[in-house]
Amino acid sequence: MRTFDELVREAEAADVTGWGFEWLDGRATEERPPWGYARLLGKRLAAARVALDIDTGGGEVIAQAPMLPERMHVTEAWQPNVAHARRSLGTQGVQVHDTSETEGLPFRDETFDLVTSRHPVNPAWEEIHRALRPGGAYFAQHVGAASAFELVEFFLGPVPSDRRGRNDRGEADAATAVGLTVTDLRTARCRMEFFDIGSVVWILRKCGWWVPDFSVQRHHDRLLALDSHIRTHGASVAHSTRHLIEARR
């Protein structure tokens, strides 16, 4: 394995825009939830006429769909991802909406028969309900409670219980409270493995909310300790949590 400094420099220089994770190929793995979100999403998009994908990142998930609705919209609030999504989805006729300075969803009431999202930042249930047509559905895969917290707590130490939110039952209750009917709710805990310290630096840069204000300089000693652990044990192990939720207006 290359030296600590070499791995860290490479990870610091790598691009982290969009929601593609190909840079980690061969360097880290994450078990996938058993339901196959992309496959299920593709079926729903193919049957929709007007759809919206919230927090689309660089549009990677939507770009994989075999067939898109006649009118497909996506929203994204981070500027580098907005540009990435416009490059990747613009040729497919997808309308990309920059919501970096927008409160709520910039659409009229009852616009969509399908609203989707993979790993939304904070589901705005009232807005989702408002944007859906009667009979329309919300279909999404959310990040669950305490996701990757073995890694997070290695850098931050024990975190307060309120950092362990985003549980499936709480989000289902929030959807119900605005008038949606939850028709499917599934959960999964998936193993993650990081095989070199560069993969850790890269993921903490990409998912900046895991360790707020992360930097190699600020967390140098913890990175050195984790590098030693990986070299001794072969990997650093954590677990992601996910839930699949479908709700209908």
Q: What ranges do the domains of the chain cover?
A: 4-248
Q: Is the pLDDT of residue 95 over 80?
A: yes
Rounded to an integer, the average pLDDT of 147-170 is 85
* pTM of the predicted protein model: 0.90
How far is 242 from 246, CA to CA, in rounded Å? 13
pLDDT of residue 164: 64
CA atoms within 13 A on the CB side of 194: 25
3-state SS of 111-122?
CEEEEEEECCCC
pLDDT of residue 17: 87
Q: Is the pLDDT of residue 174 over 80?
A: yes
What element of type H or E holds 11?
helix 4-13
pLDDT of residue 55: 97
- CATH fold of the domain at 4-248: Rossmann fold (3.40.50)
Rounded to an integer, the average pLDDT of 190-196 is 98
pLDDT of residue 92: 94
pLDDT of residue 163: 57
Q: Is the pLDDT of residue 64 over 60?
A: yes
Helix axes 220-233, 149-156, angle to 10 degrees: 130
Q: Is the pLDDT of residue 108 over 80?
A: yes
Q: Is the pLDDT of residue 162 over 90?
A: no
CA-CA-CA-CA torsion sign (105, 33, 143, 20)? negative
